[in-house]
Each structure stands twice: as structure tokens, then as C-alpha cells.
Structure 1
């Protein structure tokens, strides 16, 4: 069984480069014209049931490849190293970023871009089964807008990453801090580059004094500010974003701690009963005001660790839950079939044949398809 489950590790290796994503064109009532957004889903999204609601990361400035491409790759590779969860990533291009992202006043009640993000975007994403967590990311003018958006639509965004904002930060930063004092399940992370004029001097000179003036320590870490001295203004996203994103999702990166093993991959302690284990797993998925679903690699890892130490009842419960979450993933069917085959040949064979059907449906073009198919067929011999 372990060999079948570990097969997913090969499939999980990311491809270098940025996936094209789904370009959605729609009439925006907020702007009174046609707009586009691009939706990028994880490689494993098509295996998942509607129950797997992944976080949504919204990247503003989608019209700039120099900005978007590094950030998309940061997300992809940080997912591979388990620093960041699988997520639905939406890039939002602008036609006139200054006009769209610079409110006349921080108290301005609304803007077309905010209306588009909070009212028009959610229905467009419904078929992708978004989860409970939304992160808004911007740079420079769009970073300033992200802070404004958080203040005007606080319930719409669980976290904001603002990379070198400037516009109205003397007003917005204190208000954001005040809001975070009350909002225990939200986070705002702000970055700025170096102090030199040829780095990020103008933004640095305004933003650095604004943060302590707002008494940000009152938020107990929910407002995070970091300066990156080596970063010029346009380099702040490339240098700061992966650090801030990994910092935001650190609780996620640390959550897969159940059933630890020794150097010989043996379970250190007797695991809890199967249903108690599943309840502990579910509890570990809470994040900010919502939850982050169980990822394929986490399921595979826990089942593999427990299976290697002979805890078959726990593995059976894990795989039964995995089949509910990822019904289109062949390896979970194959692993479940192999596990129950000795005691329930009918159920085991049916699961293995389902795995073969899913292999044909989803992995036919994979260069390792023949080897994967042969491995599953061997379970029936």
C-alpha cells in the first residue's frame, strides 16, 4: 500500500514556469465595461470534491508579467515545500491602475475595483469551490488600495499583503491597526524596501515612521511590518512576497505533526483510535476565521507513516476520508483496495478497478502512466 500512495509524490513535482490559468471575461457593472481575471488552480484541483474549499489568493497588478510571474512561481514552489497550502490564485489586471486604486480619501465609501472584487468576483469563482480564506495582495498603488479595501470591506479579506504602499498610508496604517486590535482572526502584512533613494527611499521615508506612530504592537503580531534593505521598489514583491506569504501560512506549515516517526520511519507513539485521529486532524485545519482543507500530500504522508508501522485501522479511516475529499484520485482508491483486499475481496477489487478507470481518465498522458497502471494491476494478481 505504501508504494501506491507514494506514487503521488512523483505526480506532485511542480513544472517550472507559470501555468496559463483560466481567463474569465465578464461585463463588470462596477466599471461599466468588460473586464478579465485569470484563475489558476492547483494541479490536484480536478481530483477534489466540492467539500475541498481551497483558500483564494487575489493578486492585483495582473497586467504586469514582471510582477505576476514571480509571485505565481513563489506560490507554486512554496506549496511544493509545504509552506503554503494549495490555493485558488486569481490575478486581476488593471486598465489604469492609478485611477482604479487611488481613492480620493481613505474614508471614500466605495470604488469600482472594490465592488468588482467583493460583489462580482465571488460568483465567478463559485464553480471552483473556493474556501473560507481570502488573501489580497498588492504592490505600490495596489498595495495602498489593498489597505483601503481591508478598511472598507473588512469581512471580505482575511489577510492582506501590502508590498511598499504609499498613497495615504499615514491615514490607513493607524486605521488598519485599530481594526486589527478588534479582529483577532485577521492579518495584515506590510513590506518596504531599502531607505536609499535608488532603492525604495520615498516609500521607506513615509511608511517607516507611520508604523510605530500607529502603535502596531497593540495587535500582538496581527499587523506585521518588515523592511527589506536590499530591495528596490520594484524588487520588493520578488524579495518580500515569499517571506511574508510563508510567514502568514506558518501555522499551516507546522500542522502536519500527527504520528511523528523516528529515523527508521517507525511511529514513535501509539496513535489514537481511528475516529479520534480524524477529529484531531480536523481540528488542526482551523486557520484564522476559517479552515484550510486536508491536502493530498498530508493525507499521503500520514497514511504512509501509519501504514509503515502496521496501524491498519487508522490507515483505513484516513483513506475512507480521503476518498470523500478526493474521489477522482486513483492512488487513494488503489491504496484502499490493497488494504481491504485480504478481508473483503469484492470491495477491494472494486476499488482497484476504480483506480484503473481514474488512471485512464486523468493520467493517460502522463509519461509514467504505463508504470503506474502496471503497479495497480499487480494488486489484482
Structure 2
């Protein structure tokens, strides 16, 4: 009887747990404020003769500024949109890259859209796509019967999607293309055959084994056709086997030997990553490398190296093809560093440049006022503090320091007048 009661108790306990689990599982989640990562859109493509989906991420300050932004076009957009936009937001928030718009392009048939034409006269070796025991040799064309739509898909990107984005959002004339695996193959195909389409290319674990390494063999010859404006390439590969690693190593060796003009490039071997894990790390490192001058200018600004900061941004302007001066925040960092080092005139000069570039900001006038005050130019400092307060009231962004600085310099001027002979 005791065993029967114990058994009945266990059954009742299990039933209660299942009932509780069921109630917990079906209860609605607690309400909260949604976090918006981006928005889904669609576009009817006349070139591809189908509806194509895409996602758009906008920089955090897009709605409150009048700035224009470079655009990152992300292949396999549904799979990589979340982590990629997080990387862009994080790096931009730390001033390692400029804020960017991200367009994640959804797939319908990636084997068709991301590959150059498959050769029928080349037999595939046994490996990833041809298993031992298959009867008879198979060519690339037989193995991938729908392949070969890369140029058509590129026309969709450059003739339909990019104009659509550029007509609806504030963009800079700078496009970055990011692709993984077949997407990396596509990125390199575009760079070598249609390099004017994008300005920077990030090829992650590219499938360069395609057509027995055809792109590798013709790389240097193709890159002789690069446009005048410098192109940028960042490539990566994880520990993914010889069929993946061999071709990209040969490709990097060809680039190192030929050193094609107007191409800045880097290759990174990610020993601790596999094919599925390379995208996150590569995008982070690739964007940092693309905008390395911006990252390095941060430390130069903290050291008060005004000329070097300006030189880094001049290089960025040349690479990007549009004006990319030091930001208001960066110049402020540099100006205060100069001020703390006793280089007052240099600080005044730096803050004046900030006023010229960002004259609507109350902060730049307040900072200039501090430098002018330190230089003993009290009347000029007063004018700057008054302008900071005026703009702050107008924009409803009055910092307590604006009023405090104004009152302090007024007190100094009154004391100077009282002590005048």
C-alpha cells in the first residue's frame, strides 16, 4: 500500500509540474519597450523578375541630424543582419568607424545569385560537394545547375537596390560590400570584374575553389583595371580545410607579389574560427582596418597632435571621395589636451576650426571661450560664452557650465576695469 501511495504521489506531482510548466510556457511575456534594430522592406526587381526583400539599419542619430552616411551592403542579410548591425553601432559609438547605413539583402537563391558561371569543362575533385562513391565524374556546371547569376544579381544591386536606397536615405557616395562563403566569392568576382560598383570589399571565407580557382589565376590581370579612387579589400579564412585555405593563400601571395596600384588590402587567417564563425570577427576587424586612420586619430588627438590628426583625416577624405574632417568631439578632445599641456595658442587654433566647421553647436563656442580665457583674451572669451548660451537656449541644450563660464569672465572683466589706472 505504501508503495502504491508513493507511486500515486509521484504521478500527482508529475501532473502538477506538467500543468505548471504548461501555464508558464503559454503565459504572455511581460510588456516592455521594443528595441528596434531595423526595418524590413521589399522591392520588385525588373532585372531579376522577382520580389526581393531587404532590411535597413539606420545610425542612432539619423533622425536628429542632417548628416549623410556611407552604406554597407550585407549579403545573406537575414542571417547576418543582427550581429552585423551591432558591430557597426558599437564601432561607430566608439569612433572607430563613421556611422553607417546597413542594407541586409535577403536571399531567394544564393547558389544562383552569388556565383559566376560554372564551367562544364572542369571536373570537381572529390571533397565537400562530391562524395566518394558517386558514379562518374561531375563538372562544376553539373554539380551547380542553377549557378552563374552573379553579374545579373550585381545589376540588381547597382541599378535597382542602391539607387532605391540613395533616393530615400541620406547617403554618402561610398559603398561597402560584405559577403561570406559564396558571398565572399561574389565580392571578389565584383572587385575583379566590376570594381567601380563598390568602394570597399570584405570577403569572408570566400569560396575561391570555384572553377578550380579561376578567380585566383586571373586576379592580378583583373586588378589592373581598378578605378582611380583607391579600392579596399579585406579577406579572411578560418581553419576550413585545404580546399578553402589553399586558394586564398595563393590569392594573397599573388597580391603581395604584384602589389596592384590603387588597392589597399589585407588578409587574415583566423586559426581558431571555422566556416560558420568567421563572419562576426572578420566584419569587426575589416571595418576597423578600412577606417584605421579614424581609430588612430583618436590617440593622436589625446596627445594634442593636431597636424597628424588633420593628416589622417585628409587621407580618409582622399580614400572615401568626400570630405571627412575631424568630428566636433575629436577636435574638442585635442583642444583640451593642448590646453592642459600649456599650448594655449594651439588650443585656440583647434577650437576655432571647430567653430568654423560646427558653428551651430553651443559646445564649440563654449570650448573656444575657455581657450581664449586662458590666453587672457577676456573680451573675445565673453563673446564666445554669450554665443554658446544663445545657441544653447535656442536648441534647448543649455549646459550649466555655459552660464557659469559667462559669469566668471564677466567678473574677471569687472575686476580688471576696477583695477585699471
Count of matched residue pairs: 331
Query: How many angstroms does 1:242 deviate by?
Result: 2.0
Aligned match of 1:12: none
Work out the CA distance in 2 between the residues paired with 1:112 and 1:334: 54
Shift in CA distance, 227/346, structure 1 to aligned 2, threshold 3 Å: closer
Q: Say which SS state the counterpart of residue 91 (structure 1) adopts.
A: strand
Runs of 4+ in 1 over 6 A off after TM superposition: 337-341
Aligned match of 2:92: 79
Query: How many angstroms does 1:352 deviate by?
Result: 2.1
Provide Cα deviations, 1:142-177, integer angstroms capped at 9, x if missing partner. 111111222332112222111111144712234343
Deviates most, 329-338 or 288-297: 329-338
Q: 2:115 matched to 1:102?
A: yes
- Once the two structures are superposed, the pairs formed by residues 210-289 of structure 1 within 5 Å of their partners are 211-212=252-253, 214=254, 216-219=256-259, 222-256=264-298, 261=303, 283-288=314-319
Provide Cα deviations, 1:30-55, integer angstroms capped at 9, x if missing partner. 233443433333334455545xx443
CA contact (8 A) 2:293 2:312 kept: no
Q: 2:238 matched to 1:193?
A: yes
RMSD over aligned Cα, in angstroms? 3.8
TM-score (norm 1): 0.70
Gaps in structure 2 of 5+ consecutive residues: 1-33, 120-147, 408-421
Provide Cα deviations, 1:233-256, integer angstroms capped at 9, x if missing partner. 111112333223322322332245
Work out the CA distance in 2 between the residues paired with 1:355 and 1:34: 48
Work out the CA distance in 1 between the residues paired with 2:393 and 2:217: 58
Work out the CA distance in 1 between the residues paired with 2:317 and 2:179: 25
CA contact (8 A) 2:354 2:364 kept: yes
Provide Cα deviations, 1:86-108, integer angstroms capped at 9, x if missing partner. 333222222222222123259x7
Shift in CA distance, 296/218, structure 1 to aligned 2, threshold 3 Å: same
Aligned match of 2:159: 119
Aligned match of 2:321: 290
Provide Cα deviations, 1:164-219, integer angstroms capped at 9, x if missing partner. 111447122343433445647222222111045xxxx642355444544x454212
Q: 2:100 matched to 1:57?
A: no
Aligned match of 1:147: 188
Gaps in structure 1 of 5+ consecutive residues: 1-16, 262-266, 361-371
Work out the CA distance in 2 between the residues paired with 1:332 and 1:21: 32
Q: Say which SS state the counterpart of residue 90 (structure 1) adopts.
A: strand
Aligned match of 2:334: 302
CA contact (8 A) 2:175 2:198 kept: yes
Work out the CA distance in 2 between the residues paired with 1:128 and 1:74: 21
CA contact (8 A) 1:339 1:348 kept: no
Aligned match of 1:8: none
Work out the CA distance in 1 between the residues paired with 2:175 and 2:238: 25
Shift in CA distance, 176/373, structure 1 to aligned 2, threshold 3 Å: same
TM-score (norm 2): 0.65
Aligned match of 2:26: none
Work out the CA distance in 2 between the residues paired with 1:194 and 1:116: 33
Work out the CA distance in 1 between the residues paired with 2:275 and 2:104: 21
Work out the CA distance in 2 between the residues paired with 1:154 and 1:240: 21
Query: How many angstroms does 1:139 deviate by?
Result: 0.3
| Bigger RCO (CA 8 Å, 6+ sep) | 1
Aligned match of 2:27: none
